[in-house]
Amino acid sequence: MFDETDATSNESRRQRDGLPAASASPSEDPSKTLRQARKPWMRGLSALRHWWRPWKDRLFSADLAAVHFIARSARTAAGRQSAIIVSKLGDGWLYPLLGLFVFEFLGDQERRVILLAGVNVGLLHCLYPRIKRFVGRPRPFNSDPTLSPPFKAIDEFSFPSGHAMTLSGALVPIVLACPGFSLSAAALMLTMAWARIATTHHYPSDIFGGILLSLALAYPLSAWALAE
């Protein structure tokens, strides 16, 4: 049983010996002290969440409105079929066509560019499924039942767009080696972005996020390798 007299005596001895006073009584819970130390951070995090919540809702509403708007272009038979074909090309069929372009126009750099494009696509293809599972953002047609996809998605999550990540990763070394291809590359990316949103598989922010993540990896790697 704890004796208050002993505690007073111990404190007197600590003062006599020049030692700091005890910070807590034996009955004080150390976890309570830790929680109190964390309170300023927790308050700051709570304030940040409170500030972000209305902006998050507004951005999501704008994202979803953009999907509805762009999806209208795929309501006709021609638009629907075009969106499906472009999306399917992004599953892998597009890359041999890009390889033919490289062999035709890039001359001595063709092997290095194709190797870099392949490395970028491979790395990004391994990376984006993990990011999707971590973020866990549902696809537009799962968030809004009024949206109807023309074909089944390969997975249930939307952020980031794997098509945007891998295509931009393949295009980066081609554009660095052949800057004259920049406009064509931009048109190709816009077409893929339109197809992925028109099929209601992605939000515009999924596309932008995929491109930015891809550039963060593919650009420095490609610029370094092509400068060697």
Q: Quick check: is 18 in a domain?
A: no
Calpha distance 134→130 (Å, rounded)? 6
- Structural domain of 68: 60-227
- Dig out the tokens for 75 from the structure: 């309501």
pTM attached to this predicted model:
0.74
Is residue 9 situated within a structural domain?
no
Contacts for 141 with CB less than 8 Å, ≥ 6 apart? 147, 148, 149, 200, 201
Is 3 part of a structural domain of the chain?
no
165 belongs to a structural domain: yes
Instruction: Tell me: pLDDT of 55 over 60.
Output: yes
Considering the domain boundaries, does residue 199 fall inside one? yes
Count CB neighbours of 183 within 10 A.
10
Rounded mean pLDDT, 29-49: 59
Radius of gyration for the chain, computed over Cα atoms and rounded to the nearest angstrom: 28
Phi, psi of 138 (to 5 degrees): -65, 155
Instruction: Please name the residues in contact with 155: beta carbons below 8 A apart, sequence gap of 6 or more.
Output: 129, 132
pLDDT tens-digit series, residues 169-228? 999 999 998 888 899 999 999 999 999 999 999 999 999 999 999 999 999 999 998 886
Residue 134 lies in a domain: yes
Q: Which residue has the higher pLDDT, 3 or 54?
A: 54
- 140: Cα separation from own chain's centroid: 16
In a domain, 10, yes or no: no
- Across all residues in the chain, what is the average pLDDT? 82
Cβ pair 128, 167 in contact under 8 A? no
Structural domains counted in the chain? 1
Residue 33 lies in a domain: no
Q: Is the peptide bond before 138 cis (omega within 30 degrees of 0)?
A: no
